[in-house]
Amino acid sequence: MSETAKIKMLLSAWLDYIYLEDLSNASVDAITPLGENIWDKGVSLVGDNFLLSKPLFQKLEKQYFCASTRQNQPETKLALAFPQIYQVSRKQRQFRPLFTIDVSSIFVGKFRSRGWDLTEYNFQPVIPNLMELLQLDEEEVEILVTKEGLKVFLETTFKHPFSTLQDFLELVELPFSSLSLKRSPYLLRFDFVAANYKLKQDLQK
């Protein structure tokens, strides 16, 4: 085997490894030895607004965002995702978010019974899950519309017109996936950055 062929074979194996590692990092276990990662009770979506029950808001605020807690542990990021897409692994749910919306900042403010407008918050596509669950190829991922806000991203990615995020949640389908789908939002501890995906692009060049 020529040196060029060996390099190509090694590069192909490395690219496969990167893909599997990104896919692993893009899933979230409901519970770990460090505690809960997922909160799906007391979380709802009305129109474009994300609502939390007051007991859950107070619990998360105290657990992760009060002054004494923030001094004694690394910064915690909480995100919202929907719909719930998961498989059962090791007797617990393992979630696969398509995108996450960073809502950490709400916990350093006051509770709002009317909720928070999600179109005002930053979102992050979870590229490995989008590729796997929507069967997008790399060319399609490259042209995802991510700079015009969450609603434009969802409408152009899923090819479904909708009025509100709640409407989207009721319409969304995953025709290529065998995973469980529940049309409800959830909170998660999650800070996925597709560094390996970017590395994969560089290697392919």
Q: Where are the domains of the chain?
A: 28-194
pLDDT band at 97 (very low <50, low <70, confident <90, very high): very high
Cβ neighbours of 85 (radius 10 Å): 22
Nearest in space to 187 (alpha carbons), one of 28, 24, 67, 46: 28
Instruction: Tell me: pLDDT of 66 over 70.
Output: yes
- CA–CA distance, 95 with 87 (Å, rounded to integer): 7
As a whole number of angstroms, the distance between CA 77 and CA 193 comes to 13
Is residue 76 over pLDDT 70?
yes
pTM: 0.80
Q: In terms of C-beta density within 10 A (0-12 exposed, 13-18 middle, 19 or more buried), how is residue 180 classed?
A: middle
Rounded Cα–Cα distance for residues 172 and 157 (Å): 11
Cα–Cα distance, 45 to 32 (Å, whole number): 26
Whether the predicted pLDDT of 63 surpasses 60: yes
Convert the pLDDT of each residue in 122-169 to its tens digit. Answer: 999 999 899 999 999 989 999 999 999 999 999 999 998 999 999 999
Q: Please check whether residue 84 is in contact with residue 202, taking contact to mean a CB–CB distance below 8 angstroms.
A: no
Cα separation of 109 and 13, whole Å? 47
Are 94 and 30 spatial neighbours (Cβ–Cβ below 8 Å)? Answer: yes
- Identify the pLDDT of residue 114: 96
